[in-house]
Amino acid sequence: MESNNRVAIETVSGALPPKVSKLPWQQAVARYQNADTRRSLWQMLNSIAPYFILWYLAYRSLAVSYVLTLAFGFLAALFALRIFIIFHDCGHGSFFKSKRANDIVGVFTGILTFTPYYAWRHSHAVHHATSGDLDRRGVGDIWTLTYEEYLELPRWKRISYRLYRNPFVIFVIGPVIDFVVLQRLPYVNVSDKAREKNSVLHTNLALLGILVVMSLTIGFWEYIAVQLPIIAVASSIGVWLFYVQHQYENVYWERHDSWDYATAALYGSSFYKLPRILQWFTGNIGFHHIHHLSPRIPNYQLEDCHNSSPIFQEIEPLTLRSSLKSLRVRLWDEDRHKMIGYHKPVEAE
């Protein structure tokens, strides 16, 4: 990471993105790194309360029409996304000024989103420390291979990679398996520390308690009929957001010796410019370049930070339409410094 006192953007050779150099980005983000307790509490209220109300309406609608149940469940899933952003900010210690408050709310929202707080916090911290680094892939990110690595794989592993990258698998089946099954398994956690391992167990016990209570009150199948679609929709949208934040044609990847923190943040994390209503439901996570530059900024400050400095206006946004092109990228081409499909373009041969 470079630390300098003046502004300059240096263009490097070839197809590399502009390299962030000598930027006073620390000063640009510093004023937005403080949590506002009132705004945090208000966000909890306008996210968690509607979620519970919609969950109850979805349950009550089972007696009327399951289509109506799914409609309420879809709306509840959107609020579950906002709850996950609160959980996410707590994991970064940015939602409240108090570490204890962040941890308490993080554990609670983690139970609501079926995610063990301390275990997830650890793997996500690794993701932030290694994002865009080709030599430190594999923790908390999307499985990404270079073109050469893919060619060297045995046939069965190429098939596995293609299956993993299939949109139906990665955005429909995979998210449910991840949040319902994989998040329940302690050995999936990359940390050996007791707190991270125990957080998986404690979350599982809390979820089991909820399942037992709901089964005894509203019924087991009724609970599944409401909760499963909510998890499916929320996790699917969440995985898409995470995917498009780091998987697009002109994303940044570099070998460790050439890797740069600020460049990886600004050019290896997308600025996903969403319509206002979607920006609200996704907790401003579309300003992912700002988030990676400074994870200490709470979600409700990200847009203001982006708009405050000319440094960030150089970032080309992804729109809903342009982000769909990300579905075609599969491999990192080290020669062209771009994400490509499974076949290298002819001009790059």
Q: Can you tell me the mean pLDDT for 109-129? A: 95
User: In Å, what is the CA distance from 167 to each residue of 108, 161, 162, 207, 345?
Assistant: 31, 12, 10, 29, 22
Q: What is the pLDDT of residues 141-187, one digit of tens each?
A: 899 999 999 999 999 999 999 999 999 999 999 999 999 999 998 87
Q: CA 122, CA 198: separation in Å to the nearest integer?
A: 13
Q: Can you tell me the mean pLDDT for 46-52? A: 98
Q: Which of 2-6, 13-17, 289-293, 319-323 has the lowest mean pLDDT?
A: 2-6
Token representation of residue 20: 């962030």
Q: CA 202, CA 207: separation in Å to the nearest integer?
A: 9
In which band, very low, low, confident or very high, does the pLDDT at 25 lie, cut at 50, 70 and 90? confident
User: HSE on the CB side for 326, CA within 13 Å?
Assistant: 23
In which band, very low, low, confident or very high, does the pLDDT at 7 lie, cut at 50, 70 and 90? very low
Q: CA 118, CA 35: separation in Å to the nearest integer?
A: 20
Q: Is 276 exposed, middle or buried (0-12, 13-18, 19+ CB in 10 A)?
A: exposed
What residues are paired with 331 via a beta bridge? 145, 340
Residue 281 has pLDDT above 80, yes or no: yes
Predicted structure pTM score: 0.90
Q: What are all long-range contacts of 187-195, with beta carbons under 8 Å and residues at least 24 apart?
A: 189/116, 189/119, 189/122, 189/123, 190/122, 190/123, 190/126, 190/139, 191/119, 191/122, 191/123, 193/122, 195/118
Q: What is the mean pLDDT of the chain?
A: 90
